[in-house]
Amino acid sequence: MVKTASVTDKPIQIKVFPQRLLQPATAEKLLNEIDQVKGVIRMLIGGKNLPRKVTCGPGTGTDVNHPNMEIIHVGDCAFELHVMVGEVIVEIENESAKEDLRKACERALPFSFEFKQGHFIKKKATLTDYGKYGFKSKTDDSINLEDERILGLIDPHAKAETNLCVIGTEEKS
């Protein structure tokens, strides 16, 4: 079930930008704190990519065993981090969830962070979304998706959807 906001409340996007890159344990703690906030629609993590294979030099093609490439658990979903988390973009239902989100970040992060409001995630289907999911029908321009929260979150370079984790589609109480 996709959450819908009322006509008067437009979703707000917040970028949480910590002053440091996050270790996997801190990233897991932060994402779980954010997941507990009532009114969170979706979140997106970003940061420096952790390579999976050595791309040049004598070890070309061998696996990289980076210590920060760990499996973390957020809500009821587990996934492997492929980035050094440097920012988290969160979309919330309305202004009332903003202060709860800030408090969750303060609880999880032992250092300072920037908290910016703006437009960071696409709200409509992108060309990449159309390429990945196709059109619903010839007369309709919408995409055939079960959950519209994934719009604008697709990595155009990803070969599969393994980088996407949908956590809890039910209403938080």
**So where are the chain's domains?**
12-121, 125-154
Q: Is residue 11 packed enough to be buried (19+ CB in 10 Å), middle (13-18) or exposed (0-12)?
A: middle
**pTM across the whole model:** 0.76
pLDDT digits (tens, 9 = 90+) for 37-76: 999 998 999 999 888 899 899 989 999 888 899 999 998 8
Q: Letter for the amino acid at 50?
A: L
The helix or strand, by DSSP H or E, that contains position 29, with its residue range, turns out to be helix 24-35
CA distance 154 to 157: 9
- The third-level CATH classification (topology) of the domain covering 12-121 is Alpha-Beta Plaits (3.30.70)
Residue 169: pLDDT above 60?
Answer: no
124 φ/ψ angles, rounded to the nearest 5 degrees? -115, 165
Convert the pLDDT of each residue in 24-42 to its tens digit: 999 999 999 999 999 999 8
- Quick one: tokens of 63? 């696996």
Query: For the segment 81-131, what is each residue's pLDDT rounded down to a tens digit?
Result: 889 999 999 999 999 899 999 999 999 999 999 999 999 887 777 676 666
